[in-house]
Structure 1
Amino acid sequence: MFGPEGPTLRELAVQALSSVERGYDLLAPKFDHTPFRTPDAVLESVAKELAPLGPFEDGLDLCCGTGAGVEVLTGLCRRSVTGVDFSAGMLDVARRRVRPPAGGPGVAWVRGDARALPFAAAFDLVVSFGAFGHFLPSELPGLFARVHATLRPGGRFAFPVLAPPRPTRPGYWALLGFDTVMRVRNALWRPPFVMYYRAFRLGAVLRELGEAGFVTELRALPEFGRRGDGGPRVRLVVARRPQPAAGSVNS
């Protein structure tokens, strides 16, 4: 599953019995050789979909990991790109592997918690790839409120969402089994390791984005085709912080 350069079963077990932060510090040197990294095809499709919405000046990759999303942003933003993650190990790998293109935007790395972003109206574009399983549903309102405050009026918050597998598919039971194991693990072991694949539900996410003040649209990523019911296999959520109405005070 992971290949010869990926983590061993023992290393994965040690990670799973650690905190989320410590677990990713341990996994960081081999993270890009695991299925947990967002596939290049998804990154490229998101970049293609976002490009016509620009130009963007400043971009933020939320929970940037080893920097794959930062590389996407360097092709979309003209002035600066920032990657934020709470794992020092992941940031260390990102600093070494990401090489901004000549003449491209400046790149900065910030260690921080996505739930307490240290920015205010600083970005035109925020992206995130594959990180939302680390947030409990109860944390989404605060997370989305912080992202909203981080964006300038008119700025966008974008992230891909895969359609969940149906109960008739093996993937459905694999994800259900994984989440069940994690819930049992967290009931019996401390510190908790929050990673639930089935807790991030699109309907609830759209509702919370609206409550946070975003205007949201869904865009199908055509490269991944459609399911048997006609729905897209992968969607891009694009949530926009509205411009203030004429004569109003910008909040």
Structure 2
Amino acid sequence: MFSSHGPSVRELAVQGLSSVERGYDLLAPKFDHTPFRTPDRMLDAVEETLAQVAGGFDAGLDVCCGTGAGIDMLRRLCRGRVTGVDLSAGMLAEAGRQYGADAERVDFVRADARALPAALADTYDLAVSFGAFGHFLPKERPALFSGIHAALREGGVFAFPIGAPLPLGSPVWWATTGFDAAMRVRNAVWRPPFVMYYRTFPLGPVRADLRAAGFTVETVPLAHFGHRPDGTPHWRLLLARRT
């Protein structure tokens, strides 16, 4: 499915009936051949925007790093060490195969992003995350954001892209709404749960939770993706700074 190197429908079904951790362990060897990997176009847009608006960084942290799509970006933006954190041992193994030769600068830590290890506290100047927030329920955001806040040094930045609300009734709106409904039914009747939703990370509540965790929050347009008919950007880069 997706490509000749991607997972089959059967493999995706098995993964979808597993836990989040086990599902990604199974998907890891073929993950980079699916649309689930963060596109290079998005990574390039975030890197360029961060370089323009947030200045230089020393150490960088990729939260829910997966197979390491954001690691090259962090290596270019940061002068010092870069760390990837993920719950899935399978995803970290794939990332390690790609970046193991750069062990002096890059390391990987297996951890739940809702409970980052205390050893990471006050260590990083920049934290990023791509495509992972659907795996966290709204009630879990405070723990997630508090842990990232603790991992940053004073003045450190937590940055991630966030899309504009989908037009009500558009094909994409129906697709994501239908997917979320199907996942809620799946999780109501099947264990272990697989938490993955598309419509649980709206800007307003996310901004409020970040501020409650101790961040100041601003957004800047990702101009690479254009604007909607009302003039608002399709994508923004959210910059949450520890102050």
TM-score by length of 1: 0.93
- For the pair 1:57 / 2:73, whether they are aligned, the reply is no
Match runs of 1:143-162 below 5 Å? 143-162=144-163
Question: Cα deviations across residues 40-87 of structure 1 (Å, max 9, x unaligned)?
Answer: 000000000111322111000000000011111000011100000010
TM-fit CA distance, 1:134: 0.2
Which ranges in structure 1 are unaligned for 5 or more consecutive residues?
243-251
Name the SS of the counterpart of 1:168 in structure 2.
coil
Question: Cα deviations across residues 143-189 of structure 1 (Å, max 9, x unaligned)?
Answer: 11111111000000000011232123100000001000000000000
Letter of the 1:108 counterpart: D
TM-score by length of 2: 0.96
Determine the structure 2 residue equivalent to 1:229.
230
Query: Would you tell me which structure has more helix in proportion to its own residues?
Result: 2
CA contact under 8 A between 1:55 and 1:77: conserved in structure 2? Answer: yes
Name the SS of the counterpart of 1:227 in structure 2.
coil
Once residues 68 and 100 of structure 1 are traced to their aligned partners in structure 2, the CA distance between those partners, rounded to angstroms, is 16
Once residues 200 and 134 of structure 2 are traced to their aligned partners in structure 1, the CA distance between those partners, rounded to angstroms, is 7
CA contact under 8 A between 2:99 and 2:106: conserved in structure 1? Answer: no
Determine the structure 1 residue equivalent to 2:187.
186
Determine the structure 2 residue equivalent to 1:22.
22
What do you get for the CA RMSD once the two structures are aligned? 1.4
Which ranges in structure 2 are unaligned for 5 or more consecutive residues?
none
Once residues 184 and 11 of structure 2 are traced to their aligned partners in structure 1, the CA distance between those partners, rounded to angstroms, is 20
Determine the structure 2 residue equivalent to 1:89.
90
Once residues 177 and 3 of structure 2 are traced to their aligned partners in structure 1, the CA distance between those partners, rounded to angstroms, is 24
Match runs of 1:131-146 below 5 Å? 131-146=132-147
TM-fit CA distance, 1:98: 3.3
* Identity value in percent: 62
Determine the structure 1 residue equivalent to 2:32.
32
**Alpha-carbon distance change, 133 to 194 in structure 1, aligned in 2, over 3 angstroms:** same
**More deviation in 92-101 or 130-139?**
92-101
CA contact under 8 A between 1:74 and 1:105: conserved in structure 2? Answer: no
Once residues 101 and 161 of structure 2 are traced to their aligned partners in structure 1, the CA distance between those partners, rounded to angstroms, is 23
Once residues 96 and 182 of structure 2 are traced to their aligned partners in structure 1, the CA distance between those partners, rounded to angstroms, is 33
Question: Which runs of 4 or more aligned residues in structure 1 lie more than 6 Å from their structure 2 counterparts after TM superposition?
Answer: none
Once residues 179 and 136 of structure 2 are traced to their aligned partners in structure 1, the CA distance between those partners, rounded to angstroms, is 16
How many residues are paired up?
240
Match runs of 1:194-233 below 5 Å? 194-233=195-234
